[in-house]
Structure 1
Amino acid sequence: METLVFARWKSWAVLLPICLVASLRIIWMLIQFIDLVWWTPKRHAIVAQKQGLRGPAPRLLLGNVMEIKRLRESVPDALHAFRHDLTLQQLLPENVLWSKLYGKNHLIWWGPDANIVMTDMDILKELLSSKHTLSLGKPLLLTRFLEPVTGIGLVLANGETWSHERRVIGPAFHSDKLKGLVQTMVNLAVNMADSWDQILWDNDGEGEIEIEGNMAELTADIIAHTQFGSSYKRGRVIFQLLEELKEFVYKYGHLLIIPGIRYVPIPAFRRLRRMTLVVETSIQDIIKDRKAAVQAGENSSYGADLLGLMLSESEKNSQDKKQPQLTMQQLVDECKTFFFAGHETTAQLLTWALLLLAHDSTWQDKARAEIVSLCKGKIPDFESISKMKTVEMILFETLRLFTPANSIIRAALCDMKVGDLHVLKGMCFWIPIASIHLDPELWGDGVYDFNPERFAEGISKAAKHPMAFLPFAHGPRNCIGQGFALMEAKLVLATLLPRFSFAPSPSYRHCPQLMITTRPKYGAPIIVKKLSS
């Protein structure tokens, strides 16, 4: 009997500390959860309201996410004409509504995060300057939203991690390195143009071509070749999976902000985990093969594509003992980032540019005349496109009217002051690029007109404030790939415009839609006509 009592006492003596630790951990997790969804948002709301910032009332955990989703789904399905005065209502209806109710600078809630919607240009100038490079970063909720598609690469990295990755990757995007990619881009653009020739030949030199799909395929080929070089076929498989991931994020993105939801054992999230694993494993295999070939002496360098340049710069930093090499996961994330961002944004830029030119024959003719004059019957090269001012103005105006990325989000990584605003750690700034690009106070009465001439004296003089043009952001955290994207877009237009003319198609339905990037909801059919010479 005494032995039995002693055994039971011994069992309780072992279990009691375990139960106590488990109970304390559960209590601590509960406290953290309450702090996340109630106490911290309450403190942030009080601080914002004391500074005159108002906004719609948030729901517990989700904030205004469902209201934003409802407003975006309620916009007209298509506009009756190719007009730009309703673009903002199509893309950011919540911003249009709440700016009227609460002022241009107001407060919205993305999940439990307080977001200060900021359009004050002087505050934006400070916000995007080097002064706050390391004290402002990307919020955790945005990371949860975009990570399946972009990985936690340069776009989502914060603090010293971002600074290190920018230093390592930056040289790969210098103009002298980009020159080596021109021939690949031109060859692929010419291949697409040749395929159009064949299609139009069967239709007496004129026919309807769906531009968005063609631009998506072309830019995917370009990024696959320029990022993965000889492994571009494997890169194309990665692209197809990333397209599926993009569709998933668009459909379920409002749920991804909930902590841990992607691990819920339901079919949709199991599929998300499978696709992510396949993408990352495929990229790892390409990286390992590239490293193994150099180590075995089969190749003398990592190559001149973007992956090779990243590997070379990372190794160079390591040898100089300045910085450690990028880890395998960092390299994978950077490849995902540039594959998605480098393909998706340029595809939409080219799609909207051709739609705009199809509806404006005057600027189409101006661009064609400039290209013919500079290229003199030859294929475009780096030197000729660097002189194409008219084409560049057209691309800038396209980016103003239909910027691929519609917002910039920055989270305070510590308590700080920006302008006259006191901001607590965790509060965010939400910069609605489309609202700024379509603001009559900044761009004048012709704000809704397609007028590339406004950029004739450069970006800084195009609007009433030099910070009003934000497709690539500003400051140290600006888009590292902007030179790559503009070079690619110029080369494609310089290849297509001398060979074809473009006109509106009666089957086109104008409906700009925000699906991570700004895209035409019903595609972009255009009437394409082969030019005689």
Structure 2
Amino acid sequence: MEILVKNMFASLFLLCVCSLAVFFYNFLWLKPERKREQLRRQGIKGPQPTFLYGNISEMKRIQSTEKMSRKDGAVVHNYALTVFPYLKQWRKDYGPLFMFSTGSIQLLHVSDLDLVKEIMLFKSFDLGKPSYLQKERGPLFGNGIIASNGPIWAHQRKIISPEFSMDRVKGMINLMVESTLPLLKSWESRVESEGGIGEITVDENLRSLSADVISRACFGGSYSKGKEIFSRLRAVQEAMSKKCLLIGIPGFRYLPTKNNIKIWRLEKEIQSLILNVVKERRVAATTCEKDLLQALLEGVNASGVGPDEANRFIVDNCKNIYFAGHETTAIAATWSLMLLALNPKWQIRARAEVEEVCGGRLPDSDMVRKMKTLTMVIQETLRLYPPAMFVEREALQGLKLGQIYIPKGVNIWVPIITLHQDIDIWGADAHEFNPERFARGISSACKTPHAYIPFGVGARTCAGQNFAMIELKVVLSLILSRFTFSLSPKYCHAPAFRLTVEPEHGMNLLVKRV
């Protein structure tokens, strides 16, 4: 009898192991392979994936080879070749439309302009943000407006978009000026103390400045009050960038690796800090001006959800705005200063415009509107160095884009930098800094206007683009009015992908008073 029971348990154990093996084989290989086969039948090719890892091993190999041959330092704007060399290689091998895999995630690389236009025009909730943003990037984005889909996203957009309308943003210009003036004073002191020319790592300063602006504009407090939140968000961003190629490997984010443990700890700390800010606001709600935080509180109260769900809603969207509202703008300002430092004629031209428009006064909404040259400089900066590298979408249901059927679960990557520097679209000088191309607006800057997408495409276009453009004009105009600048000999040009594209070794400029 005892032997019979042991045999039964052994048989059950073996059955469970076999069942799990079949389940995982189906989940990790057969299911993704069916999606790939549907794409292959439509003539879409790509590198052959391996079990569990997809094409990650090949991506690492190509990237490692490229890194060994790369010489950091030379300022080459066509940096996508070094940051994502495997996409360059596969585009050369398979054309503008190809597929590849990271773990169990199936990706469709789309740089075909007709399909990009289809994505822009697609209105249905069937095409949304990738689910891996909530899973793999959850500690940074959660289910906030950047990563959410369907009715939840529509509700968030309805709350957040009005707070970044042009009329609202114009009312924030004085606040932006007030935040920038201390930066100018600190640079003046630095220049004076170093004998008339100061060497400044400007990206660090601009990140703090942009954080102060978004704190004051949206959350009713200065950067010093939210400093701990920003420092932890930055730490999460850096930790996540270390495992960019590992998204899609099943279960990897649950492993207690040193990096994952750090991310989990930071996520809890960020949530606690944001809830403290929310608690203070709820106490002082009757005396506070209407801002984004207040709109989020009122929006979640009107939805009638429970306290835990309400807290998640507020925390996730605060994280999204804290991150997107300061990180991307600071990086855009950093690259703008680099390009003006490299192109002194445009620096002189932009400064002359600021002096003519402002006449020695601090900028206001009317002055900002008249800064055409500075607008062109910013637009060209966002063409060459867009903060985001990809427009990311997922087919939440099977759907058609043009003549292509996209199976449910397939992710779409539109490489922004590839479109922004395509010679066939922008001309022979596509890899060069030439703001003049925007002299007659975006529609005349290139052959196909929908190839210029620094703020995304379609219904999911960045809600804060008005805020970003105005802040960039205010900050750059004030810097230009006080300082001239050039690249420091210490600067080493090496754009790096850390969820945004930023200078790997910092941005060192030599700064002196006008």
Aligned to 1:196: 187
The structure-2 alpha-carbon separation of the partners of 1:175 and 1:33, relative to structure 1 and needing over 3 Å to count, comes to same
Choose from 154, 160, 166 the match for 1:163: 154
Aligned to 2:85: 93
The structure-2 alpha-carbon separation of the partners of 1:231 and 1:448, relative to structure 1 and needing over 3 Å to count, comes to closer
Aligned to 2:221: 230
Aligned to 1:306: 292
Aligned counterparts of 2:36 and 2:248: Cα–Cα separation in 1: 19
Aligned to 1:460: 443
- Cα deviation for residue 31 of structure 1 reads 5.1
The structure-2 alpha-carbon separation of the partners of 1:287 and 1:349, relative to structure 1 and needing over 3 Å to count, comes to same
Aligned counterparts of 2:340 and 2:321: Cα–Cα separation in 1: 28
Aligned counterparts of 1:455 and 1:29: Cα–Cα separation in 2: 58
The structure-2 alpha-carbon separation of the partners of 1:268 and 1:318, relative to structure 1 and needing over 3 Å to count, comes to closer
- Cα deviation for residue 435 of structure 1 reads 0.8
Aligned counterparts of 2:83 and 2:424: Cα–Cα separation in 1: 20
Aligned to 1:186: 177
- Cα deviation for residue 27 of structure 1 reads 7.4
Q: Is the 8 A contact 1:105 1:120 kept in 2?
A: yes
The structure-2 alpha-carbon separation of the partners of 1:178 and 1:94, relative to structure 1 and needing over 3 Å to count, comes to same
Aligned to 2:139: 148
Would you say 1:113 and 2:96 are equivalent positions?
no
Aligned counterparts of 1:58 and 1:376: Cα–Cα separation in 2: 61
Q: Is the 8 A contact 1:144 1:256 kept in 2?
A: no
Aligned to 1:268: 259
- Cα deviation for residue 337 of structure 1 reads 0.7
Q: Is the 8 A contact 1:171 1:313 kept in 2?
A: no
Choose from 304, 329, 334 the match for 1:346: 329
Aligned counterparts of 2:347 and 2:266: Cα–Cα separation in 1: 41
Secondary structure at 2:484 match in 1: strand
Secondary structure at 1:185 match in 2: helix
Secondary structure at 2:326 match in 1: helix
Choose from 398, 406, 421 the match for 1:415: 398
- Cα deviation for residue 29 of structure 1 reads 6.0
Aligned counterparts of 2:441 and 2:155: Cα–Cα separation in 1: 32
Q: Is the 8 A contact 1:455 1:461 kept in 2?
A: yes
Choose from 405, 409, 413 the match for 1:426: 409
Which is worse superposed, 342-351 or 202-211? Answer: 202-211
- Cα deviation for residue 104 of structure 1 reads 1.8
Aligned counterparts of 1:236 and 1:287: Cα–Cα separation in 2: 15
- Cα deviation for residue 417 of structure 1 reads 0.9
Secondary structure at 2:283 match in 1: helix
**1:24-71 Cα distance to aligned partner (Å, 9 max, x none):** 998776555333211111111111111111111112222123332343
Secondary structure at 2:497 match in 1: strand
- Kindly report the root-mean-square deviation, in angstroms, between the aligned alpha carbons of the 2 structures: 2.6
Aligned counterparts of 1:522 and 1:284: Cα–Cα separation in 2: 34
Q: Is the 8 A contact 1:64 1:110 kept in 2?
A: yes
Q: Is the 8 A contact 2:398 2:407 kept in 1?
A: yes
**1:163-194 Cα distance to aligned partner (Å, 9 max, x none):** 12111221111122223322221112111010
TM-score (norm: length of structure 1): 0.89
Choose from 151, 159, 174 the match for 2:165: 174
How many residue pairs align between the two structures? 506
Aligned counterparts of 1:262 and 1:313: Cα–Cα separation in 2: 32
**1:120-157 Cα distance to aligned partner (Å, 9 max, x none):** 1121111122x344111122223333222222211110
Aligned to 2:248: 257
Aligned counterparts of 1:216 and 1:37: Cα–Cα separation in 2: 40
Aligned to 1:516: 499
Aligned to 2:341: 358
Aligned counterparts of 1:421 and 1:367: Cα–Cα separation in 2: 45
Aligned identity (percent) is: 36
Q: Is the 8 A contact 2:212 2:222 kept in 1?
A: no
Aligned counterparts of 1:27 and 1:328: Cα–Cα separation in 2: 42
Q: Is the 8 A contact 2:103 2:246 kept in 1?
A: no
Aligned to 1:83: 76
Gapped regions of structure 1 (runs ≥ 5): none
Aligned to 1:503: 486
Aligned counterparts of 1:326 and 1:265: Cα–Cα separation in 2: 27
Aligned to 2:116: 124
- Cα deviation for residue 287 of structure 1 reads 1.0
Amino acid across the alignment from 2:498:
M
Aligned counterparts of 1:230 and 1:354: Cα–Cα separation in 2: 27
Secondary structure at 1:83 match in 2: coil
Would you say 1:327 and 2:313 are equivalent positions?
no
Would you say 1:52 and 2:43 are equivalent positions?
yes
Amino acid across the alignment from 2:329:
T
Q: Is the 8 A contact 2:391 2:457 kept in 1?
A: no
Would you say 1:209 and 2:195 are equivalent positions?
no
Q: Is the 8 A contact 1:189 1:218 kept in 2?
A: yes
Secondary structure at 1:518 match in 2: strand
Instruction: Decide which structure has the larger Cα Rg and report it.
Output: 1
Secondary structure at 1:472 match in 2: coil
Aligned counterparts of 2:377 and 2:186: Cα–Cα separation in 1: 25
Q: Is the 8 A contact 1:454 1:462 kept in 2?
A: yes
Aligned counterparts of 1:33 and 1:117: Cα–Cα separation in 2: 26
Q: Is the 8 A contact 2:125 2:149 kept in 1?
A: yes
Secondary structure at 2:100 match in 1: strand
The structure-2 alpha-carbon separation of the partners of 1:471 and 1:519, relative to structure 1 and needing over 3 Å to count, comes to same
The structure-2 alpha-carbon separation of the partners of 1:520 and 1:265, relative to structure 1 and needing over 3 Å to count, comes to closer
TM-score (norm: length of structure 2): 0.92
Aligned to 1:337: 320
**1:347-366 Cα distance to aligned partner (Å, 9 max, x none):** 11011100000011111111
Aligned counterparts of 1:286 and 1:346: Cα–Cα separation in 2: 23
Aligned counterparts of 1:293 and 1:518: Cα–Cα separation in 2: 38
Aligned counterparts of 2:477 and 2:38: Cα–Cα separation in 1: 52
Which is worse superposed, 114-123 or 61-70? Answer: 61-70
Secondary structure at 2:108 match in 1: strand
Secondary structure at 1:217 match in 2: helix
Q: Is the 8 A contact 2:145 2:157 kept in 1?
A: yes
Aligned counterparts of 1:404 and 1:281: Cα–Cα separation in 2: 28
Would you say 1:293 and 2:276 are equivalent positions?
no
